[in-house]
Amino acid sequence: MVGTRHLAKARAFYVPLFEQMGLAVCYEDEQVVSWGNKDDDTVPRFFVCYPFDGEPASVGNGAMVAFRVHRGADVDQLHAMAIEAGAKDEGSPGFRPESYGDRFYVGYLRDLDGNKLAFACYDAKANP
């Protein structure tokens, strides 16, 4: 779950990314939108919402949501889609063997509210 200052803008930002990952909107109202698989409640769900306390959303230092994808090409595509939709690059897609081994491929960004996200593949090949 991440906070937002503008739910409609956050929804518009996330819908294409989650569609690309095969996830759909599972629930939404005037306070929250969630994505996942409506038919399988074992699939993790992602929520974007207004904070419950009514205060503006703020970003925690050191907090990040990472999405595991199947291929390095998926990382590239999702990262590019997010940047095109207004996200800020926090680390272009690439191999980062110092993190999780020689096949770890990841791209980092910040969404429209500054929440840090990563798209990662743990079994990428040099030519994904």
pLDDT at res. 29 = 97
Residue-wise pLDDT for 56-82, tens only, equals 888 888 899 999 999 999 999 999 999
- 87: part of which helix (H) or strand (E)? none
- How many C-beta neighbours within 10 Å does residue 117 have? 22
Question: Of 96, 58, 2, 87, which Cα lies nearest the Cα of 79?
Answer: 87
pLDDT at res. 126 = 65
Q: Which residue has the tokens 């294409």?
A: 16
pLDDT at res. 62 = 86
pLDDT at res. 57 = 87
In order of their start, the domains of the chain are 2-43+63-121 (3.10.180.10)
Predicted TM-score of the model (pTM)? 0.91
pLDDT in tens, the chain (128 residues): 999 999 999 999 999 999 999 999 999 999 999 999 988 989 899 999 999 998 888 888 889 999 999 999 999 999 999 999 999 999 999 999 998 989 999 999 999 999 999 999 998 876 54
pLDDT at res. 123 = 87
Strand arrangement of the beta sheet that strand 65-68 belongs to: 65-68, 116-121, 105-110, 88-95
pLDDT at res. 128 = 46
Percent above pLDDT 90 for the chain: 79
